[in-house]
Amino acid sequence: MNTQSLSQPVSTSLPSVEDHRKMHVVVVGHVDHGKSTFVGRLLHDTDSLPNGKMEQVRKNCATEGMEFEYAFLLDALIEEQEQNITIDTTRIFFRTKQRAYAIIDAPGHKEFLKNMVTGAASASAALLLIDAKEGVMDQSRRHAFLLSLLGVKQLVVLVNKMDLVDHSESTYQKIVVEYSAFLKTLGLNAVHFIPIAAKHGENVVDRSAKMAWWKGPTVTEALDNFDHEDDLTGLPLRLPVSDIYRFDHRRIIAGRVEAGAIRPGDELIFQPGGRRSTVRTFEDWPGPESRSVVGTGGSASVTLSEQIFVERGQVAAHPSNQPRVGREFRARIFWLGKEPLVPNKSYRLRLLTQNVEAVIAKIEKITDASTLESRDGSSVPRDSICEVIVRATRNIAFDLHNECPITGRFALEEGGRIHGGGIILDAIAKTSAPSGKVTASERNARAGHPPAVIWFTGLSGSGKSTIAEAVERRLFDAARNVIRVDGDDLRVSLNRDLGFSAADRAESVRRASAVAGLFAGTGHITLVTLIAPLAADRAKARAALANHAFIEVFVDAPLDVCESRDVKGLYAKARRGEIAEFTGISSPYEAPESPEVHIKTDKVTTEEAVDLVLGAIDKVLQGKGDDWEV
Amino acid sequence: MSRNAQNDHLTRLEQTSIHVFREAFANFRSVCMPWSMGKDSNVLIWLARKAFCGKIPFPLLHIDTTYEFPEMYEFREKAKVIHGIDLIVRVNEDAIRRGIGYSTHDPVTVTHELKTVPFKAAIDEFKWDALVTGIRRDEDPTRAKERWFSPRSAEGNWDYKDQPPEFWGQFASTAPEGGHVRVQPLLEWTELDIWEYIRRENIPNPTLYFARNGKRFRSLGCHPITHPVDSPASNIDEVIEELKLTKTSERAGRAQDHVGRNSMQELRAKGFM
């Protein structure tokens, strides 16, 4: 007899249990169809009760003048657990000779749907009780519907209270026929329908002598035959990117294989985005050897052969079997939020590591949780199930739930808290091929990054072009769309009609910002190098480019340093009076007061300056954890 | 054991913990891992190194009550080097000056003053929004309802009655205003799992866990209130064999748990890990 409290896992005290991983089971069914009695009997017959519990409950019954019932055992245990402060779902533990089990949530708990979701979403199997005498009732159907929604596939139906129908095989068969047909409409299939009489322990652990016609398993035999969880290794590879690590020279794509398996040498495609590369190595610590394959559930640390743009949220797959990519799908959702779910309000859609803004474009139907009848409605109240069209603000990678459950389900979040979840029923193909104007987000999706304007200002000879060219090289090599707009080039082309008067300088800044805006509008990271000596002109440029990320880089070198460099011989000319209104000599330079990046070129190397600029680009274009280092 | 055996129980636990670590690091601005130097803590370090390919990319925090066993301080310095740990150590000097100690005060007060108070002060100082803990569901009944990611208010309180739903690997990704999220990668491990994993991976641990003269420590805390249990288990194999048979609870040697019926709840409601 196990002497531990049942609120403790039994594994440490059960050397004989072969498989000491606890299997999570939910017990559901219509009210009064015998769930509590069944669980009480199961605990008793598997010898999983704490010492003295049975005697204590019997004694209490005698004192109160009540007949003993197995259901009281469960009540007593739950009461005991609820004296602890932490109850929101109850877990009851039992074991068979094969392994340990946890029953998630006590039957009949108040916040049924929420607990069912939190508990049953991780359950490997479900037991659903139907009263042989009453037959299939509302909740018998409702609970199966929830199981199908939560993806619990291993189901055993227990036809209970067989003692009340004289252990009649024909009554049993009638329920099997009726309920099987219903399950079929949900896409569910019960592994067994077991006739039991929980009150008397018939076919729970021990075979019933009164139902010799039953040749199938007892409840515990059926449980022991279940798989621990669905093995998704046979499905196509789905490796959502959790993060990109650059703690040392390595660039490691980190993620958990959610379906399928991955090996070094595999070609991968990252969706959305569609960039491809090949798995070079797994970087397993402590080494020296790394795994030769990472299967479903395994965490992978992957280096790639090519330096392609990868970010958190993308899903790596084999090119021959990719997830769908799109923004719109039809889903069945359960909603737990205190506020109703409403169309056209912005929610965060979380699907694996993807986290995007989304709206409910349309509520197709709201399903009454008890009758399963559907109705129309403009908002979905708490604890309801509904079918909706979800529209994300940008493309996501996903599968249909019936193709790959793990990439076919998602959560909806608002204010940092998960309020609902759902499964994807259909992808909604866009009604027509993309038409009309090419949008900024389409450009970004193709480039793999948003645009930005990096504006280098500083004296002639301060090093603007040198740094900008090096930045351009690094970005270009990292496959970013990048272009440089050089003030000197403009001066001999677009601006050749302009001189150096204040008005002409203002016009030259305006033209440069217009050109930069055009390039940024096509998705380029645009590097502008222009002296732009006056703060007011630069402020106008910034305002004109307000649609794009804008980084002002002040390339700051003392005048004497610039003059001593005098690469183009301009300072000498200015000193000789051959160039009028030369910035720094005969025309003012107003240093930026709060540039995004301030580079003192007489203090740092070009390499360091480039890193500063790239760091700022990083920060502006991507948040933490994304792969923007180049 | 083969590293390719991915379907065994310990590997499943390990891989899930790694996933939890990675999700925490990707989701939160500033992560810290309190380190007790005990076995669960040391398993966490190992898992973090696996998660981040050798390097732990956030600091560890040791709240030093000044009542650690001398061997623990030696172990701390050794482990710091082995794992390349960025370690922050904090002591509640003020409480010590006020004479708070086990010879004069009850264990709940001392634990609160020397652990919880400096711990909260460190959170205020460094503004961490995620703390990685070694909590396991099997440790204590009050821990059975923990979540992988468990939001705590600015006061460190745990709203256990209204926890967010947690399903399909989607965790609470935002800390409450001014508060933080406890990240609990060992939630589904048992004490036996911990030891079997330590053996499999050969993870450094203090030798206080192994019997000398018929007694060993099963759980380590402040030396005045941590008592060894009777045990002949003088090496890791023997500890594992013992655990498979034992019926006493892991924290039986931890006095602060047994002062009152609800002492653990009291400590936890005040922000104890």
Cis peptide before A272 (omega within 30 of 0): yes
| Closest residue by Cα to residue A47 from A79, A86, A81, A6 | A6
Give dist(CA B64, CA B106) in Å, integer: 18
Least confident of A573-577, B77-81, B180-184: A573-577
- Quick one: average pLDDT of A565-588? 86
Q: Answer yes or no: is B195 within a domain.
A: no
User: In which band, very low, low, confident or very high, does the pLDDT at A624 lie, cut at 50, 70 and 90?
Assistant: very low
Q: Residue B256: pLDDT above 80?
A: no
User: In which band, very low, low, confident or very high, does the pLDDT at B248 lie, cut at 50, 70 and 90?
Assistant: low
| Closest residue by Cα to residue B40 from B181, B256, B250 | B250
C-alpha distances (whole Å) from A387 to each of A361, A392, A518, A587 are 11, 16, 43, 68
Taking only residues 594 to 623 of chain A, the set having a beta carbon closer than 8 angstroms to any beta carbon of chain B reads: none
pLDDT of residue A105: 57
* H or E segment and range at residue B149: strand B149-152
The domain ranges of chain A are 11-224, 239-317, 329-427, 442-621
| Residue-averaged pLDDT of chain B | 86
B88/chain A closest Cα distance in angstroms: 20
pLDDT of residue A22: 72
Instruction: State the burial class of residue A479 (Cβ atoms within 10 Å of its Cβ: 0-12, 13-18, 19+).
Output: middle
Q: For domain A329-427, which architecture applies?
A: Beta Barrel (2.40)
Decide which of A280 and A225 is more confident: A280
Q: Domains in chain B: how many in total?
A: 2
> Do B62 and B180 fall within a single domain?
yes
pLDDT of residue B140: 60
Q: Answer yes or no: is B199 within a domain.
A: no
> Do B219 and B181 fall within a single domain?
no
Taking only residues 384 to 443 of chain A, the set having a beta carbon closer than 8 angstroms to any beta carbon of chain B reads: 406, 409-411, 413, 415-418, 421
> Do B89 and B127 fall within a single domain?
yes
pLDDT in tens, B143-172: 556 678 988 877 766 666 666 777 787 887
> Do B241 and B265 fall within a single domain?
no
With beta carbons less than 8 A apart as the criterion, state whether B267 and B156 touch. no
| Closest residue by Cα to residue B20 from B131, B102, B109 | B131
- For A442-621, CATH number? 3.40.50.300
Any B CB within 8 A of A79 CB? no
Give dist(CA B185, CA B208) in Å, integer: 24
Any A CB within 8 A of B219 CB? no
> Do B265 and B250 fall within a single domain?
no
Residues composing chain A: 630
The neighbour count for residue A477, using CB atoms within 10 Å, is: 11
A1, A3, A4, A8: best to mutate for the B interface, most B CBs within 10 A: A8
Measured between beta carbons, which residues in chain A are less than 8 angstroms from residue B141? Answer: 5, 7-8, 81, 84, 86
> Do B161 and B224 fall within a single domain?
no
User: In which band, very low, low, confident or very high, does the pLDDT at A187 lie, cut at 50, 70 and 90?
Assistant: confident
Any A CB within 8 A of B179 CB? no
Q: Answer yes or no: is B4 within a domain.
A: no
Any A CB within 8 A of B246 CB? yes
- Quick one: average pLDDT of A194-198? 97
> Do B176 and B220 fall within a single domain?
no
Fold of A11-224: Rossmann fold (3.40.50)
Residues 6+ apart with CB under 8 A from B183: B20, B21, B24, B31, B130, B131, B132, B133, B148, B149
> Do B119 and B249 fall within a single domain?
no
With beta carbons less than 8 A apart as the criterion, state whether B34 and B273 touch. yes
Residues composing chain B: 273
B62 alpha-carbon distance from chain centroid: 11
pLDDT of residue A434: 57
pLDDT in tens, A295-314: 988 999 999 998 888 999 99
Instruction: State the burial class of residue A25 (Cβ atoms within 10 Å of its Cβ: 0-12, 13-18, 19+).
Output: buried
Give dist(CA A584, CA A565) in Å, integer: 14
Contact B138 A121 (CB under 8 A): no
Measured between beta carbons, which residues in chain A are less than 8 angstroms from residue B167? Answer: 117-118, 121-122, 150, 411, 418, 421
Any A CB within 8 A of B12 CB? yes
In DSSP notation, A319-337 reads TTSPPEEEEEEEEEEEE--
Contact B53 A5 (CB under 8 A): no
Decide which of A242 and A105 is more confident: A242
pLDDT of residue A76: 72
pLDDT in tens, A336-380: 888 999 998 899 999 999 999 999 999 999 987 556 778 888 999
Any A CB within 8 A of B29 CB? yes
Top-tier CATH class for A239-317: mainly beta
Taking only residues 72 to 131 of chain B, the set having a beta carbon closer than 8 angstroms to any beta carbon of chain A reads: none
Contact B190 A7 (CB under 8 A): no
Q: Residue B242: pLDDT above 70?
A: yes
pLDDT of residue A263: 96
| Residue-averaged pLDDT of chain A | 85
> Do B242 and B148 fall within a single domain?
no
C-alpha distances (whole Å) from A474 to each of A469, A478, A603, A604, A628 are 9, 6, 22, 18, 12
Least confident of A5-19, A122-136, B113-127: A5-19
With beta carbons less than 8 A apart as the criterion, state whether A597 and A552 touch. yes
What is the SS3 assignment for A599?
strand
User: In which band, very low, low, confident or very high, does the pLDDT at A628 lie, cut at 50, 70 and 90?
Assistant: very low
Count Cβ neighbours within 10 Å for each residue of A262-282 and write b for 16 or more, e otherwise: bebebebbbbbbebebebeeb
Q: Answer yes or no: is B198 within a domain.
A: no
Q: What percent of chain A shows pLDDT beyond 70? A: 88
Residue B78 is part of a domain; what is its CATH number?
Answer: 3.40.50.620
pLDDT in tens, A523-572: 899 999 999 999 999 999 999 998 889 999 999 999 999 998 888 888 98
Please report, for chain B, how many H helices and E strands are present, in that order: 9, 8
pLDDT of residue A321: 93
> Do B217 and B180 fall within a single domain?
no
> Do B265 and B242 fall within a single domain?
no
Any B CB within 8 A of A260 CB? no
Which domain does B225 fall in, by range?
208-257
Long-range Cβ pairs for the range B116-121 (8 Å, 24+): B116/B156, B116/B267, B116/B270, B116/B271, B116/B272, B117/B92, B118/B63, B118/B90, B118/B91, B118/B92, B119/B34, B119/B61, B119/B63, B119/B90, B119/B271, B119/B273, B120/B156, B120/B271, B121/B90, B121/B92
Residues 6+ apart with CB under 8 A from B111: B222, B256, B267, B272
B67/chain A closest Cα distance in angstroms: 30
For residue A241, list its beta bridge partners. A255
Taking only residues 306 to 345 of chain A, the set having a beta carbon closer than 8 angstroms to any beta carbon of chain B reads: 312, 336
Least confident of A83-87, A237-241, B97-101: A83-87
Any A CB within 8 A of B165 CB? yes
With beta carbons less than 8 A apart as the criterion, state whether B13 and B198 touch. no
- Quick one: average pLDDT of A493-522? 92
Least confident of A25-39, B118-132, B165-179, B186-200: B165-179
A471: left (phi over 0), alpha (psi -120 to 50) or beta: alpha
* Residue of chain B minimizing CA distance to A84: B142
| Closest residue by Cα to residue A451 from A520, A353, A370, A357 | A520
Least confident of A73-87, A454-468, B49-63, B96-110: A73-87
With beta carbons less than 8 A apart as the criterion, state whether B221 and B115 touch. no
B43/chain A closest Cα distance in angstroms: 14
Q: Answer yes or no: is B1 within a domain.
A: no
| Closest residue by Cα to residue B204 from B66, B63, B59, B80 | B80
User: In which band, very low, low, confident or very high, does the pLDDT at A318 lie, cut at 50, 70 and 90?
Assistant: very high
pLDDT of residue B260: 47
C-alpha distances (whole Å) from A31 to each of A162, A360, A500, B225 are 17, 34, 88, 49
Token output for A59:
């004694």
User: In which band, very low, low, confident or very high, does the pLDDT at A36 lie, cut at 50, 70 and 90?
Assistant: confident
* Residue of chain A minimizing CA distance to B56: A247
Backbone angles phi, psi at A360, to 5 degrees: -85, 110
Contact B51 A299 (CB under 8 A): yes
Same fold, A11-224 and A442-621: yes
Q: Answer yes or no: is B251 within a domain.
A: yes
Give dist(CA B184, CA A308) in Å, integer: 33
A314/chain B closest Cα distance in angstroms: 14
Contact B246 A294 (CB under 8 A): no
Contact B160 A88 (CB under 8 A): yes
With beta carbons less than 8 A apart as the criterion, state whether A422 and A412 touch. yes
* H or E segment and range at residue B267: helix B263-269
Any A CB within 8 A of B242 CB? no
Q: Answer yes or no: is B203 within a domain.
A: no
| Closest residue by Cα to residue A420 from A338, A332, A335, A351 | A335
The neighbour count for residue A177, using CB atoms within 10 Å, is: 10
pLDDT in tens, A49-72: 877 788 888 888 888 888 888 888
> Do B112 and B130 fall within a single domain?
yes
| Closest residue by Cα to residue A339 from A409, A417, A424, A422 | A417
Q: Answer yes or no: is B174 within a domain.
A: yes
pLDDT of residue A515: 96
| Closest residue by Cα to residue B122 from B83, B43, B70, B64 | B64
Measured between beta carbons, which residues in chain A are less than 8 angstroms from residue B7? Answer: 295
pLDDT of residue A86: 34
Least confident of A441-445, B40-44, B208-212: A441-445
pLDDT of residue B159: 66
Contact A252 B53 (CB under 8 A): yes
Any B CB within 8 A of A252 CB? yes
Token output for A260:
């399928």
pLDDT in tens, B2-43: 333 445 789 989 999 999 999 999 999 999 999 999 999 999
